[in-house]
Structure 1
Amino acid sequence: MVIPAVLLFATFHTLPAIQGIYYSFTNWNGISLTYDFVGFKNYVNLFQDEVVKNSYFFTFKFAVVATILVNIISLSVAVGLNAKIKGRNFFRAIYFLPNVLGVLIVGFIFNFFFTNILPEVGDKLHIDFLSTNILGSEKYAWIGILIVVIWQASAFNIILYLSGLQTVPQELYEASSLDGATKWQQFWKVTFPIIAPFFTINMVLSMKNFLMVFDQIVATTNGGPGHATESISLLIYNGGFAGGEFAFQSANAVIYFIVIMVVSIFQIKVLQRREMDM
């Protein structure tokens, strides 16, 4: 029963990946029937291309900021939802709703909001910053994408943190209260050490997902203005399938894969070591 799944996975995942590595050592443009081997020329050119460098810089800046903000917001909301408040299950469902919606749909909705609704509100309130379309600014467009990503990504992280909070024994809170611990001390000394594995999972998954950001950018700025918000994934897609740089972007994809793998392993090692120290 496993063989069909393995064959499908190999056909649509492993084989294309191997082909991509193979083509990264050629000059194939993705269309012509002939191509030549160029060795490591594509890899050398990657480190000399300013567009590629700017794309990596933007992607890492975006991923780091988004990962930090998403986890801070998600953990704060999860702690609040875990408290004994009325309608707790209702609020849990509301906060999880963004995760159900399609990424492109959410992106187009926010695109309309930033382009039409927010500028109109800014004009009526005479707020210059809101009167202009933030997605049309080279300096601030990435903030608009960040808002979209945080709004949707927080939903999944909240659920994971809620699952972790369910594992904390109430007796520990009662004992710490008798010892005179404040709410912050209870969180830092009791709650966080226990949910540290969930924190590790969320941090690693968040960083990996944000390094691969694609759909939200396509739906909001499509990499613009200029190349200001062009992520690595979008650069690989545009250059490889529409720009005649299939081999060059295949090399970029290989480097990209290695970078994500190294970052993820580094995160796991550091965060797991922190778990043990706690």
Structure 2
Amino acid sequence: MTTQTPVRPQTRAGREEPQRKKGVRLAGAFYLMVLPAFVLFFVFHTIPVIQGVYYSFTDSPGYGPADFVGLRNYIALFTDPRVLHAYWFTFLIAAVATILVNIVALAIAIGLNGRIKFKNGLRGIYFIPNVLAILVVGYIFNYLFSNSLPALAEKLGIDALSTSLLTKASTAWIAIVILAVWQSAAFNIIIYLAGLQTVPTEMYEAANLDGASAWRQFRSITFPMIAGFFTINMVLSLKGFLQIFDHIVALTGGGPGTDTESVALLIYKGGFQGGEYGYQSANSVIFFIVIVGFSIVQLRVLRRREVEV
């Protein structure tokens, strides 16, 4: 008579052990996939940032030996009229362009979201500026502002536009804003279109039955429902315009004189062309703090607005 060995029921710990080993293997695979990106980011981003912070405490011209000067560069920044003007000009461009680009993008997005013909084709056309090189487009706009527009204005008898907008500081900033808004509106339009797709059509139908006007529908339905998308566009727009660089290089090069220099352009000119590597490194650190500060404050204020809505 043969005796059978009784099969012991598998305990809970026994069942979890293979799953735990499988989880460890998966975690290891994830780390291996992330590691190359982390190494590249650390080598080409983190290390240069740390080096830049170090050079901001030196008088380095960008080559050769450098002496440690402590906070001298940071103190000098707050009394440098060229730096202060660059910050003021950058804030002006960023504020005006951020407001205009969101107004234009939201208006176009609402129009494209309506019942119009060739809607998909128009969406593609409006997105074209976002994929074009800013420098190339900037030189085209330079020609338009310097040649085509004055020639057209002269024929029409408009004396105010008969000379190039780029020759005077009082009008050059307007040309920069026009180019910046034209180029950046495409991305904002896509974000707003995505937001408008989340608004239920039933709400508009109910509003129409109640006799609500188009403006009332926008103020009470559309804008509150896309408030999160508005926050995203405002934060990204302001951050991008604070770093404006290519537009100015193509249109004015910072001129006339230094009247249209942005902070980014000043850092480039002074750091790489003017022998002020350490000084402009300090400027870069301050500028980084300013951008982060603006983004945090803007995000908190707009998110509070979302809650109130």
For 1:139, what is the secondary structure of its paired residue? helix
Q: Which residue of 2 aligns with 1:202?
A: 233
Q: 1:11 aligns with which of 39, 43, 47?
A: 43
Query: 1:51-106 CA distances to partner (integer Å, 9 max, x unpaired)?
Result: 00000000001100000000001001100110011111121111111112111111
What CA distance in whole angstroms lies between the structure 1 residues aligned with 2:220 and 2:210?
Answer: 13
Residue 235 (structure 1) aligned with residue 266 (structure 2): yes
Q: Which residue of 2 aligns with 1:71?
A: 102
The root-mean-square deviation of aligned C-alpha atoms, in Å, is: 0.7
Q: 1:144 aligns with which of 161, 172, 175?
A: 175
Cα shift at 1:23: 0.5
What CA distance in whole angstroms lies between the structure 2 residues aligned with 1:259 and 1:252?
Answer: 10
Q: Which moved more, 1:118-127 or 1:267-276?
A: 118-127
Cα shift at 1:224: 0.5
Q: Which residue of 2 aligns with 1:155?
A: 186
Q: 1:257 aligns with which of 284, 288, 307?
A: 288
What CA distance in whole angstroms lies between the structure 2 residues aligned with 1:200 and 1:138?
Answer: 32
Query: 1:160-196 CA distances to partner (integer Å, 9 max, x unpaired)?
Result: 1000000000011111222221111111111111100
Query: 1:5-48 CA distances to partner (integer Å, 9 max, x unpaired)?
Result: 1111111111000000000001111122x111111000000001
Residue 108 (structure 1) aligned with residue 139 (structure 2): yes
**Aligned residues between the structures:** 277
Q: Which residue of 1 aligns with 2:200?
A: 169
Q: Which moved more, 1:96-105 or 1:242-251?
A: 96-105
Residue 221 (structure 1) aligned with residue 252 (structure 2): yes
Write the letter of the residue equivalent to 2:265: L
Q: Which residue of 2 aligns with 1:59?
A: 90
For 2:169, what is the secondary structure of its paired residue? coil
Q: 1:244 aligns with which of 252, 275, 300?
A: 275
Q: Which residue of 2 aligns with 1:2?
A: 34
What CA distance in whole angstroms lies between the structure 1 residues aligned with 2:198 and 2:146?
Answer: 44
Q: Which moved more, 1:241-250 or 1:118-127?
A: 118-127
Q: 1:97 aligns with which of 128, 132, 142?
A: 128
TM-score between the two structures when normalised by the length of structure 2:
0.88
What CA distance in whole angstroms lies between the structure 2 residues aligned with 1:63 and 1:202?
Answer: 13
What CA distance in whole angstroms lies between the structure 1 residues aligned with 2:153 and 2:211?
Answer: 48
Gaps of 5+ in 1: none
Cα shift at 1:115: 1.1
Q: Which residue of 2 aligns with 1:36?
A: 67
Q: Which moved more, 1:100-109 or 1:120-129?
A: 120-129
What CA distance in whole angstroms lies between the structure 1 residues aligned with 2:121 and 2:157?
Answer: 37
For 2:110, what is the secondary structure of its paired residue? helix
Cα shift at 1:126: 2.1
Query: 1:114-166 CA distances to partner (integer Å, 9 max, x unpaired)?
Result: 11111111222222111101111121101011111111111110111000000
Residue 131 (structure 1) aligned with residue 192 (structure 2): no
Q: Which residue of 2 aligns with 1:27?
A: 59
TM-score between the two structures when normalised by the length of structure 1:
0.98
Q: Percent of counterpart pairs with the same letter? A: 60
Gaps of 5+ in 2: 1-32
